[in-house]
């Protein structure tokens, strides 16, 4: 019983460790090589992958925690789908992952941006109409003619979109000259005349980024940067995208990818216009040595609201210790490029996909994306995708992910990882030794039982003959012997099973260790293979039955009269 329990417990522990290390059935790192799909296309490609049932994007970012003795990280995960994907064993938290993650879903900012009229199977094009005018400038420190910058290709555009999953994506468009109105087209999706985009719809326009630079040595200290309008191409026709918002627009400028500062913006019939030369936008500058210029980001004012709320977080035990706070506390933490008001809404002993004992902060990925963009204007991409697959298809799905069209850089599959962990020679040696020992012990016990019973019966043949002579039938005599042997066998089986189970419950959590001779995480759960134990019990009872059959043949071969005469002699 102990041997089969050890084998079952050790095997289950390897699978639990593998699931914890991988985080889900499969963990995929998206491809970065030539021919790999862009991040925005992965969601729909996974939807079309046979065997993949649910998936969630994941990001990892380092974080500084005051009391952390080892590296800490922020794990961003889509809280809407995490509970269906993450290989979360219930004993590593006091409640289910569904209940733990619910506050992260509830705390996601409800911000509606500008809807875009795009759908599946279409070629997505946005046209941004913008211009940059110069009224005052200096060249090499001397006043210059504003007409000198006209025609300089210093205006380019990019847009930031959000899909139905809450992920943000940036798409860069065309460039145009300063000094005149430009219609700059942005291809949303894959470039090419025959391209078709496949997003998680609907799509929303989050921001428009106007990048401006001037000729070398030229500084524009008077003028304007204006967004005149946006239109989308639908069935070959350019359709205006309404830019009017009840909350209005806000603008921020960043020089050389530095800190974003607010820009005064006028919103009128001519569009959104920022004046150059004031305190908020003092000048337009040439590119620096690294090729960086000024970027003005135009976004709905409602985006600012995402910073006003409290960000709900889950923490591991180590992460909680590193913060110096307790469950339910509200405090300020630097996360997503800024200092945020956060609340610890749940604590777990560990979170799948992270190292055991590592300080980890778990947050909703779409929430982090909005906070990061609002604070720094950066658009992060999911670094991993965790997948739940249909039963038994893990290996085939993992193989397909590495092939076109996904071309994943790395794929980890739980069953494959468990197989690798199960090759530990020390543990396999222990299992082999226990198996050989238990088989040998069972054989010796069976042989001993048979011999003991046979000798006992042979010594008592005269007694049995006398009982037969006094009228005891053969069937009654056999029932007596069966009951006598059954009591001995059942007591032995029950005692052996109980001792084996007690040894398993007491010893297995301590002796089932990793290849590094460390306690595994998640902790070992003792698994009792009742089916195998039932087979063992059946074999024991079968030995009893065969022994009784042999004794019956022995007794029948001895005549009553002969045994009585032998007794008289």
CA distances in angstroms from 451 to 378, 444, 542, 543, 544, listed in the order given: 82, 10, 15, 12, 12
Confidence of residue 512 (pLDDT cuts 50, 70, 90): confident
Residue 192 scores a pLDDT above 70: no
Beta partners for residue 233, in sequence order: 238
- Contact between 361 and 73 under an 8 Å Cβ cutoff? The reply is yes
Beta strands at 330-335 and 294-300: parallel, antiparallel or unpaired: unpaired
Joined together, the tokens standing for residue 327 give 């469950």
Alpha helices in 276-351 (DSSP H): 317-323
Distance CA 140, CA 200 (A): 50
Contacts of 50 by beta carbon, 8 Å cutoff, 6+ apart? 393, 397, 400
Q: For residue 295, is pLDDT > 90?
A: yes
Q: In Å, what is the CA distance from 348 to each residue of 72, 319, 343?
A: 15, 9, 15
Tokens of 302: 């409602």
In this predicted structure, what is the pLDDT of residue 89?
92
Look at 223 and 564; give whichever has higher pLDDT: 223
How many Å apart are CA 114 and CA 161, to the nearest integer?
9
CA nearest to 50, candidates 392, 400, 386, 395: 400
Structure confidence at residue 342 (pLDDT): 95
Q: What is the C-alpha R_g of the chain? A: 38
> Tell me, what's the pLDDT at 195?
43
What percent of the chain has pLDDT above 70?
95
Q: Is 101 exposed, middle or buried (0-12, 13-18, 19+ CB in 10 A)?
A: buried
The DSSP output letter for 386 is E
- End-to-end Cα, the chain, rounded Å: 49
Rounded Cα distance between 25 and 415, Å, is 8
| Residue 308 scores a pLDDT above 60 | yes
Whether 391 shows a pLDDT value over 80: the answer reads yes
CA atoms within 13 A on the CB side of 424: 19
Which uninterrupted H or E stretch holds 137?
strand 124-139
Mean pLDDT of the chain: 88
Tell me which residue of 27, 169, 162 sits closest to 86, measured CA to CA: 27
Instruction: Pick the range with the lowest mean pLDDT from 135-144, 334-343, 387-396, 516-525.
Output: 516-525
What is the DSSP pairing of strand 266-268 with strand 261-263? unpaired
Query: β-pairing, 155-162 with 168-176?
Result: antiparallel
The 10 Å Cβ neighbour count of residue 467 is 16
CB 88 within 8 A of CB 293: no
Q: What is the pLDDT of residue 194?
A: 38
191 falls in which pLDDT band (50, 70, 90)?
very low
277: left (phi over 0), alpha (psi -120 to 50) or beta: left
pLDDT tens digits, residue range 227-278? Answer: 999 999 988 899 999 988 888 999 999 999 888 899 999 988 789 999 999 8
Q: Where do we find the tokens 């733990």?
A: 100
E strand map for 326-446: 330-335, 338-348, 360-364, 384-389, 410-413
Residue 240's pLDDT is 95
Q: What is the pLDDT of residue 556?
A: 63
Cβ atoms 296, 264 nearer than 8 A:
no
Average pLDDT over residues 451-462: 73
Coil/strand/helix, residue 284: strand
User: Where are the alpha helices (H) located in 377-424, listed in sequence order?
Assistant: 394-401, 414-421
Distance between CA atoms of residues 307 and 16, nearest Å: 39
How far is the C-alpha of 343 from the C-alpha of 439, rounded, in Å?
57
565 band by pLDDT with thresholds 50, 70 and 90: low
Helix (H) or strand (E) holding 212: strand 204-212
The answer for 428, left when phi > 0, alpha when psi is -120 to 50, beta otherwise, is alpha
Round to whole Å and give the CA distance between 275 and 265.
8
| Per-residue pLDDT reduced to its tens digit, 518-550 | 788 999 999 999 998 898 888 878 877 777 777
Closest CA to 60 of 386, 312, 309: 386
In this predicted structure, the answer to whether residue 180 has a pLDDT above a threshold of 70 is yes
Q: Please write the tens of the pLDDT for every residue from 484-508.
A: 777 887 888 899 899 999 999 998 8
**3 state SS of 402:** coil
Helix (H) or strand (E) holding 263: strand 261-263
Tally of helices (H runs) and strands (E runs) in the chain: 13, 23
Describe the crossing of helices 394-401 and 414-421 by its angle, rounded to 10 degrees. 110
> Residue 374: pLDDT above 60?
yes
Task: Look at residue 466 in the predicted model and tell me its pLDDT.
Answer: 76
Instruction: Go through 334-358 and write b for each residue having 16 or more CB atoms within 10 A of its CB, e for each that does not.
Output: ebbbeebebbbbbbbbbbbbbbbeb
What's the pLDDT tens digit per position in 313-340? 999 999 999 999 999 999 999 999 889 9
CA torsion through residues 325, 328, 333, 337, sign = positive
In whole angstroms, give the CA distance from residue 374 to residue 542: 74
- Confidence tier at 426 by pLDDT (50, 70, 90): confident
Q: Tell me if 164 sits within 8 A of 215, measured CB to CB.
A: no
Asked if residue 303 has pLDDT above 60, the reply is yes
């Amino acid at each position: 019983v102990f041997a089969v329990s050890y084998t079952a417990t050790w095997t289950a522990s390897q699978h639990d460790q593998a699931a914890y290390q991988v985080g889900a059935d499969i963990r995929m790192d998206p491809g970065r090589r030539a021919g790999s799909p862009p991040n925005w296309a992965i969601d729909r490609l996974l939807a079309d992958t046979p065997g993949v049932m649910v998936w969630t994007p994941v990001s990892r970012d380092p974080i500084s925690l005051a009391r952390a003795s080892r590296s800490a990280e922020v794990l961003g995960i889509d809280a809407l789908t995490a509970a269906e994907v993450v290989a979360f064993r219930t004993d590593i938290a006091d409640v289910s992952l569904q209940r733990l993650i619910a506050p992260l879903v509830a705390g996601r900012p409800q911000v509606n941006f500008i809807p875009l009229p795009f759908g599946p199977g279409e070629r997505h094009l946005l046209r941004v109409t913008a211009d940059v005018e110069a009224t005052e400038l200096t060249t090499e420190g001397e006043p210059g003619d504003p007409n000198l910058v006209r025609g300089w290709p210093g205006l380019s555009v990019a847009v930031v979109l959000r899909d139905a999953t809450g992920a943000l994506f940036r798409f860069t468009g065309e460039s145009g000259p300063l000094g005149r109105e430009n219609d700059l087209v942005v291809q949303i999706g894959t470039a090419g005349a025959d391209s078709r985009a496949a997003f998680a719809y609907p799509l929303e326009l989050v921001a428009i980024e106007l990048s401006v630079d001037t000729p070398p040595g030229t500084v524009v200290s008077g003028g304007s940067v204006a967004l005149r309008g946006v239109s989308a191409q639908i069935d070959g026709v350019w359709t205006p995208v309404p830019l009017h918002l009840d909350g209005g627009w806000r603008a921020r400028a960043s020089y050389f990818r530095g800190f974003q500062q607010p820009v005064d913006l006028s919103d009128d019939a001519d569009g959104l216009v920022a004046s150059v030369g004031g305190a908020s936008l003092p000048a337009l500058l040439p590119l620096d040595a690294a090729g960086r210029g000024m970027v003005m980001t135009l976004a709905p004012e409602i985006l600012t609201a995402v910073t006003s709320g409290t960000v709900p977080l889950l923490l591991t035990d180590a992460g909680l210790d590193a913060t110096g706070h307790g469950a339910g506390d509200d405090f300020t933490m630097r996360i997503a490029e800024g200092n945020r008001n956060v609340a610890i809404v749940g604590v777990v002993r560990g979170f799948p996909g992270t190292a055991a004992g590592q300080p980890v902060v778990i947050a909703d990925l779409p929430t982090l994306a909005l906070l990061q963009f609002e604070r720094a204007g950066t658009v992060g991409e999911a670094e991993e995708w965790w997948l739940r697959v249909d039963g038994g298809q893990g290996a085939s799905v993992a193989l397909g992910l590495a092939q076109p069209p996904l071309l994943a850089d790395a794929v980890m599959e739980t069953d494959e990882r468990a197989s690798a962990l199960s090759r530990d020679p020390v543990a396999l040696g222990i299992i082999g030794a226990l198996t050989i020992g238990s088989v040998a012990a069972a054989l010796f016990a069976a042989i001993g039982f048979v011999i003991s019973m046979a000798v006992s019966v042979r010594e008592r043949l005269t007694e049995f003959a006398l009982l037969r002579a006094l009228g005891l039938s053969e069937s009654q005599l056999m029932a007596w012997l069966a009951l006598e042997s059954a009591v001995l066998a059942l007591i032995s089986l029950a005692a052996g099973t109980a001792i084996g189970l007690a040894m398993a419950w007491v010893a297995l959590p301590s002796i089932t260790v990793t290849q590094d001779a460390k306690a595994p995480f998640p902790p070992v759960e003792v698994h009792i293979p009742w089916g195998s134990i039932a087979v063992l019990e059946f074999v024991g009872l079968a030995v009893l039955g065969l022994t009784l059959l042999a004794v019956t043949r022995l007794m029948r071969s001895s005549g009553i009269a002969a045994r009585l005469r032998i007794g008289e002699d």
